[in-house]
Each structure stands twice: as C-alpha cells, then as structure tokens.
A and B are shown apart, each in its own frame.
Chain A
Amino acid sequence: MTDIDTALRESLGRLAQPGDPSGVASAINAQADALATGAAGAGAGGAAASGGAFAGWIPAVVIAVLALGAGAYVGVQSTGGGSSAAYAPMTVSPNGAIPAASCPGGAAVTDLDPGARVLAVARTDSGDYLAVRDPAVLSHVVWVPASDATADPGTNVSDLPVKDCSEASAAPSPSVTPAPHHTTKPTTKPTTKPTTKPTTKPTTTPKPVDKPPTLTVGAWSPKIIVGSGGYGGTGCTQAVSTTIKIHATDDGTVKVTGKVTPNAKIVGNTLTLVSHSGSSWAFKYIANSKGPTSVPTATIKFTAKDNAGHLVTRTTYVKVIPTNMCPYTP
C-alpha cells in the first residue's frame, strides 16, 4: 500500500500547477493595508469568513495596480476623518541588519532584516529619516535613515507626510489590535437595569498598558538542509542542521519558544534552544526526511510570551532533503 501512496504523491505532483510567487508579497501587503484601513470598503472580518470579502477588495487592488502603472506608487487612503495618509513600499538595504529607532536618530529598539520589505508612512522635514512599519509588529512604527532603504520604482518619497516622532507613531496601521483570545463571554443577559448611578468616581490610577512583545526572525541560513539519516545516499553538499536566530523584546520580560508543526514526510524533528542572551535567541533544527520523492518543508513557529500573557508568533520554513535524493540542487 505504500506504493499506492508514493504513486499518488508522484501523480499529484505532476498534476500540480504551482503559483508564481513573483511580486506576490507586495501585492498581499497592499491588500492587507486596504483591508485594515477599510479603504476597500470591505470589513476586516478575518480570513475564516470564507468568501465574504472575495470581491470586496478587488476595487482596491485595481486602484493599486493603476497607481503602479502610472508610476506613482505612493498610495493615498482615507483614514475616515477626512485627512489622508500616504505610504510608500521600500526595500531595506541588503548590506546587514539596519538598526531602527523609536524616534529619528534615537537609540535602536530593533533591527530590520537585510533586504526586508517595509512600508514607509512618514518622513522627517529634512528627509534624512523615514518612519516605517516594523515588519515584525505592524502596529509599531520605527525610524530608519533614508539612506538605508530604497524606494520602489515610481515611488516618490518626498510625497510622504512630514511628521515628528509622536505623530508618526499614531499613523494608521495595517495591523489591527490583536484579537482577544480566551475571552469568556457572558452566558446570560442582565434582566434588569441598574437603578442607581455610581455617586463617586474611581480614585485609583489605571495601570500602565503593557505592550505586546516584538518578535523577529533574523537573517539566517541555510534554509534547506539534508536529512540526518534514513535512506542512505551521498553527494549532498548542504548542511544537516540550521541555526535560526530570533530577536525578541518587551517592556517587561519575554520568553521565546519554538515548535515544529508535524509534516507527514518529515520524521525526527529536533528543535533545540542553543543560546539566549538578552533579546537574542538561537534555535538549532535537525530533521530526517522520509523521502523518497520530494523535498518536504518543515514549518517552524516561534512564540514570544511576555509576563502579561501577550503572545506574538512568527513562522518560518526549512526544506529537508531526503538523503536518497543526494546530490540535490534546489
């Protein structure tokens, strides 16, 4: 019966028509931005609401494409209050991680990955610094030197609004407030209205709001490894393990954990925390691929949890070559 499974996998592999990933990430970011700000007129009802918004955002996508065609990809979107906010897609310099600060010229609070795609939402008056949405936590705005990011062709950075540190932090974000989880709903409705109003105001000072942690998967390689055993075979030049570096910060304490999602064709997943210092964690991943017909992808999810219970997750991927496919060239 194993032959049946193999034959089915091979046949479906031949029948499969993969999607072209070119330019897809930028398009998705633009759609997400439109959804989050309501520019498309579609509610951000969540992905699970199947089909409901399928046609709803199409006008916004068409608008974005037209803007690209006209060579002026600085989107303008209504913020609901009559004002407008411009944004510009950019690529961070590929030459090393770029320190990003909470204010122009300030101390770095996080690093942007080399070559990361970001959305600029404001600039300083001089144009020396740009406010960009933190790819790790899209609700955060961080400042980077303008010289460390390259605008997409047709983008005019000078069209971005001039803002200062506090104004930019309030820029509309494509990331909505994290949805509450594990919240219990009241099971019964109150049957009577309160008959008396409170006569005194609360005297206690509200506790400061705890911010969720930030979690970034840093630049790491290799993203394809060889299975650590199994079917035999020689000739692969790829490593048998990979070390994934994580950066996490919080206004309190934060802990990072990693988890490998089961894949039917990968066995013996081992994800080990090998180092932790300050805001940096490093996890080593080793696996064995069942093979023998394809190179499966392992899904690895990292979770940062702070002492207030906020959770932030990031997912990344590693391909595991079955050793019987060696030598293998991606």
Chain B
Amino acid sequence: MTVEVATRIDLEAFVASEYPRVVAAVRLITGDHDAAPDAVQEALAGIIASPPRKDIDNLAAYVTVVASNKVRDVQRRRGAESRAYDKLPMQRDITTDELSALDTDVAAAIRALPERQRDICIHHYLLDHSVETIAEAMSVSTGTVKTQLHRARATLAAVLTNGGER
C-alpha cells in the first residue's frame, strides 16, 4: 500500500518564530556567521520544493541539522572550517564588552567539542530540543544523544566550574 505524505510548511510562522534561533544555532554549530542564513533558507526551500519522504516532527530541529551539514560540506570543500572558528565568538554584532569571560570560555569549549557533541549541545541548550527530537533529527538513537550530551555537559561543566582557568 502506498500512503502519500505531504508536509506543508507554515513558512511565515516558521520564519517569524523559529528562523532567528535556527540561524543562531547553525552559526554556533558551524562557526560560519555568513553562510548560516543562506544554508537555512536553502534547507527550507528544498523542503518546500521537494518534501522529504519521511514525516518531520520538529521542523526547526530538522532544518538545523540539514543547514549545518550544508555549511560543513562547503567548509570541508574549502578547508575553511578552522578559519571560520578562529572568528568565533567575536563575530559581528557582538563585542567583547557584551560577553563575560565565562561566555568566552564557553564558546571556546563548545568549539573544542567533537562535532556531534557540539551539535547536540546547541540543540539542547540553545534550541531547547528534547533528547527524542534531537535523536530523530540527527537520525541517531536516543541513547547516543544521551551519551554525547552527558560527555559534552561534563566538559562544559568543568569550564564553568573553573571559570577562566582552562
């Protein structure tokens, strides 16, 4: 039996409610301030033009994963990932005065996390996504998300506990 699924996006509502945070998440995940908005918009356009074959429970989580992968693919092709991260977190719109020393340490610690742990951290702590939502969006098990989140949290907790003594 064939069941047709058509995922329709309330685009205006998504852009107004979720787009700013999704772009922020992709920027933190990839370290690429400029490419993130383009990648998020492309991900959304791709979903509208060619709806995925699986139902999407959380569009923000799905778009964050897809857009991050797009930026990373481009970065890998260009070998630019390290250069992009060198600019974090003092990208445009944020000055050192606005960030505490702790924020700078957290940014550095996030940057140093393994890729998957970093993704899961941003999903969980910035986008407030549940373990189940993250697992579905990243196509991994909930156990994997819990394990990676636990390890990332331990690393970041050490940074927060020690303050600037990294």
A residues bordering B, Cβ < 8 Å? 1, 4-5, 7-9, 11-21, 24-25, 27-29, 31-36, 44-55, 57, 116-117, 136-138, 174-176, 178-183, 212, 215, 217, 223, 259, 261-266, 294, 296-297, 299, 301, 309-317, 319
Contacts and interface: CB of A to CB of B under 8 A. Distances in A.
Contacts of B73: 50-52, 54
B57 A182 contact: no
B128 A264 contact: yes
A11 B6 contact: no
B48 A174 contact: yes
B42 interface: yes
Contacts, number: 268
A262 B58 CA distance: 9
Nearest to A174: B49
A313 B56 CA distance: 9
Nearest to A297: B17
Contacts of B25: 16
Given A8-B160, A12-B125, A315-B9, A17 B50 contact: no
Contacts of B98: 14
Which secondary structure dominates chain B's binding surface? helix
B4 interface: yes
Contacts of B18: 297, 299, 317
B160 A7 contact: yes
Given A24-B15, A54-B42, A47 B6 contact: no
Contact of B10 (A263, A266, A315): A315
Given A11-B103, A50-B69, A54-B70, A32 B3 contact: no
Q: Which of A29, A261, A263, A301 has the most CB of B within 10 A?
A: A261
A20 B41 CA distance: 12
B128 A263 contact: yes
A194 B93 CA distance: 68
Contacts of A182: 1-3
Contacts of B15: 21, 24-25, 28
B46 interface: yes
A8 B125 contact: yes
Q: Which of B1, B128, B133 has the most CB of A within 10 A?
A: B128
Contacts of B66: 47-48, 50
Given A35-B49, A45-B50, A53-B42, A180 B4 contact: yes
